[in-house]
Amino acid sequence: MEFGILSTAGIGQKAVLPAIESSDHRVGAIASRNLDRAREVAAPFSIPRYYGSYEALFEDDEIDAVYIPVPNALHAQWTKRAADAGLHVLCEKPLASDANEAREVVEHCADRGITVMVAFMYRYHPRTERAIEIAASALSDVRSVSASFQFPLFGDPEDIRLNPALAGGSLMDVGCYAVSAARRFLGEPDRVYAHADDSRETGVDTSLTGILEYDDGSTAQIASSFDTPLIQRYRVEGSNGWLEVTDAFDAPTDDSLELTYEVDGERNVETFDPIDQYRLEVEHLAECVDAGVPPRTDGTEAIANMRVIDALYESAASGAPVSLD
């Protein structure tokens, strides 16, 4: 599969471009709103073609799919434009600014026969798959999940993640991973409650803590922040044991990772060899396109995650619990 890259965003250069290069697929072109910038990024990656607009890349007949790491508020627009051009899409999370917009994107892509996949890369790491397996098969009656992704965002006050017009905020940037993990282990919540803080008075949440409640009494706690030291973890607790994962989401590609769990009083630690979860997500997309099946993190999953995020924001604004009917 030949990929086009929309924008010269740092995540693409740091993780996704190298991941595609290390796979059996390739990057055929990159586009930026600035031709010189596109040329500058293309050179070290030996990308053969570069364009000064996204529209120009869409006209490249050799491209099969695009990776879209533009600001959050533009994900929906450019995913639909790519679908109109007949291109499959790997879009950075979140797929859209809210659940309604995510539904529009998913329907738009489905109408055009296009596969759309959201880049929740952690879902493709073998450790995540193993954690899901243990929770489902070995832990009895999972009652509690806690998930957190926090890091210090300092420097440029004009950072797009601090811009409300671009759908910034800690929940949209990293808290969406915590929501994804909580939902994966407990399912869809019946109601949520959240508290948010805008410590820099930018109009976005620089930190948010939320509770996901379920009618059976189980709960999940999620947290995101731009104001605290780096932490990315989740813990799942059942009546007969627990499991815990650190470096849970943006896992290093060059270090081994551990999964710690205890079941019926017996503690275990499993070690996973270094692997590039970004490469695995790229390969998964290509396999799904070839097989004509939905990806693991498809549009339906994107809508469900955004429903919870929308409710968390609504609760944080009102100070009251919000039901998800």
Each residue's pLDDT tens digit, 87-121: 999 999 999 999 999 999 999 999 999 999 999 99
**Res 274: pLDDT:** 97
φ, ψ at 196 (rounded to 5°): -125, 155
Decide if domain 122-277+298-323 falls under CATH 3.40.50.720: no
Start-end of CATH 3.40.50.720 domains in the chain: 2-119
Is residue 43 over pLDDT 90?
yes
**Res 155: pLDDT:** 79
Which among 149, 175, 176, 172 is positioned nearest to 160, based on CA atoms? 172
Mean pLDDT, to the nearest integer, of 165-175? Answer: 98
Start-end of CATH 3.30.360.10 domains in the chain: 122-277+298-323
Taking the chain, what is the end-to-end CA distance rounded to the nearest angstrom? 40
For the range 38-46, what are the long-range contacts, defined as Cβ-Cβ under 8 Å and sequence gap of 24 or more? 38/8, 40/8, 41/8, 41/13, 45/13, 45/17, 45/21
DSSP letter at 65 equals: E
Helix (H) or strand (E) holding 149, with range, is: strand 144-150
Is residue 325 over pLDDT 90?
no
Which among 73, 12, 10 is positioned nearest to 204, based on CA atoms? 73
Beta carbons of 308 and 102 less than 8 angstroms apart: no
User: Whole-model pTM?
Assistant: 0.97
Is residue 305 over pLDDT 90?
yes
Mean pLDDT, to the nearest integer, of 174-196? Answer: 98
| 2-119 CATH fold | Rossmann fold (3.40.50)
Q: Quickly state the pLDDT bin for 180 (edges 50, 70, 90).
A: very high
Mean pLDDT, to the nearest integer, of 136-156? Answer: 95
What are the tens digits of pLDDT across the range 281-298? 999 999 999 999 999 999
Q: Quickly state the pLDDT bin for 183 (edges 50, 70, 90).
A: very high
Is residue 177 over pLDDT 90?
yes
**Res 157: pLDDT:** 86
Helix (H/G/I), strand (E/B), else coil: 189: coil
Mean pLDDT, to the nearest integer, of 76-96? Answer: 98
Q: Quickly state the pLDDT bin for 225 (edges 50, 70, 90).
A: very high
**Res 156: pLDDT:** 84
Q: Quickly state the pLDDT bin for 303 (edges 50, 70, 90).
A: very high
